[in-house]
Every structure is written in structure tokens, then in C-alpha cells.
Amino acid sequence: PLLQGQISSHLAMGQYASADERQRYMYKVQVRSMEAGQPRALAFMQQANWQYNAYQLQLGERSYSRLMNMWDLYRLALNDMIEREGQTSPQLLIPLQGMLQAQYLITAYDPQSETSSHDSPDDLGARQELNRFYAYRAQSYDKGAAVIMAMRDIELANHGPQSVQAAQRMVMLGDWQLWNEERSESMETYRGAIMELAERDDAQIQIDQLFGEAVALPDVDGVRALPAEVGTEQANILLEFAVNQKGRVVDLERVDDNDAPKGKTNRFMRKLRKTRFRPRFEAGEPVGTEKIVRAYNIE
């Protein structure tokens, strides 16, 4: 509790490096003093969440190390919980969600953006850490898919086949495949989810919930590529675009006359062009969507 209080104080005062140091020390204390059980699993997840926050704050010289730590800590929490609760406990979804976030971030991250400015070519420790990251990233696609399938197995065990929860995990797998440029596999996965939902009495309602509009990827809290949409009264940029059947943004144009900074606007529009979308589906097949209008505040 004393360390937690110190960390809270450092965060309140914006002293993030000091908070980071106290987090590292608290982790050492927790590992040495806690036996396997719920408190230790919660401690692992709290530390994993801090690694995510430290990554967002760009604390330290090699941010990609935070992502590897994040994955490892959530995995430790998962293993601890499996020993107590078994393979199908809904509580396992919490660390699995964190592990999926880590894989999205690992896949997207380019370590060259910071290694050139911080690390000497003769720095053996830096080279080893970078090689370790590349090894993590080489396995990222398979690990992400395995995490999602573990989540689906839990939903199947607790809610059964044809359940909305199980189908949502299938869609999550399709999103992961599409985001990783595995388009054929993703379309088959999406169709599989639609076929599962087709057995339900409320099939069309549930299918429309998941496939009634184009959805920006990743569609996962904490790693979304785009900011949240806002109402037109709060927005400083209004964009119109289309998403084709492959999930690509086309025909993007600005349709407002607000005074948003031109440089920020152009960067945001480039980012939107590069964002992959889950396409809309009709009758079990992907289709294009025209004249999508979205409002954002990009200050």
C-alpha cells in the first residue's frame, strides 16, 4: 500500500519516470512476497497495464520492451488463473484481452524509429533486446490467433455454439487476419461467423450488429487506430469516404470549412487512408459502402 500510494502521488504530479521506478520496485516486492493465487494474478495484470501506460507515455529508450513485458505479464497472470480456475473460466478473458492488445501493438510497432537515436551499433544489450523483439514479432500472427481461439473456446464452453459471444470471437479472429493482410482467410472466418448466427431466431439482427456497417480495425479497446467519432458540433473536421469490399478506404475527401490545422488534417487523412476496415456484408458476402461521413476533433 505504501508503494501504491507513492505511485499515485507521482502520477498526480506528472512525475512519470519516478512512478515507473516505483512500479519496478513494487513488482520485485510482489514477486518475492506473493504466493500463487488471485492477489498475485491481479498484481501481474496491474503491472502489465502499467507497461501499456508506460508505452503510451514513451517512458524509457526502447518502447518495444514495454510491449514484450506487457505480453509476458499478462501471460503469467493467465497461467496463474488457469491453475486455480481451469481452462474455461470467464475470468481468463481479462488477461487474454490484454495479451491480444499486446500482439496488435507488437505487430504494428517499428523499433527502428527509436533504436537509431538511442542505441550504439556496439551496444550488445540493445542488439540482444532488439533481436528478442523481432523474435516476438515473428510469432505475433500465430500468437494473436491462438489467443483469440482461446477466448472463443471459453465462450463456447460458457455460452454454447451459435451464441453471440462465440460468433463475436470468430469476427475478432477475422479482424486479426484481415489486419495482418490475410484477406482470404478473414473472409472465410467472417462467413463462418455469419453461418453460426444464421441458426438463431434473431439471426438478422445479430448479423447486422456485426456486419451492417464498415468497422475500422483494430476493433479492440486500447489499440484503436482512429479516435472516437464526435458530434458535428464538437468536430473540427468532417470527412466523407467509401470503403470497398476489400476493406480499403477510397474516395476520401474533406467536406467541412472549419479551421482545423492543415498539417494535422493532412496527417489524419493519410492515417485514415491506411486504416483497414472490416467491410459491410450483404447476403453473406462483402460489399462496398459509399458516402460514409465521420466527424472528428483532431486537436
Look up cell 501481474; give the residue. Answer: 44
pLDDT, position 160: 95
Q: Is the pLDDT of residue 206 over 50?
A: yes
Which of 288, 280, 148 is CA-nearest to residue 207?
280
* Helix or strand run (H / E) with residue 252: strand 249-254
pLDDT 10s digits, 268-290: 999 999 999 999 999 999 999 99
Q: Answer whether 247's CB lies under 8 Å from 276's CB.
A: yes
Peptide bond connecting 111 to the previous residue in cis, omega within 30 degrees of 0: no
Distance between CA atoms of residues 69 and 52, nearest Å: 9
Mean pLDDT of the chain: 91
Q: What percent of the chain has pLDDT over 90?
A: 68
Q: Distance between CA atoms of 193 and 185, rounded to whole angstroms?
A: 13
- Lowest-confidence pick of 115-119, 123-127, 260-264, 286-290: 115-119
Q: How far is CA 98 from CA 26, 84, 199, 225, in A?
A: 20, 19, 31, 17
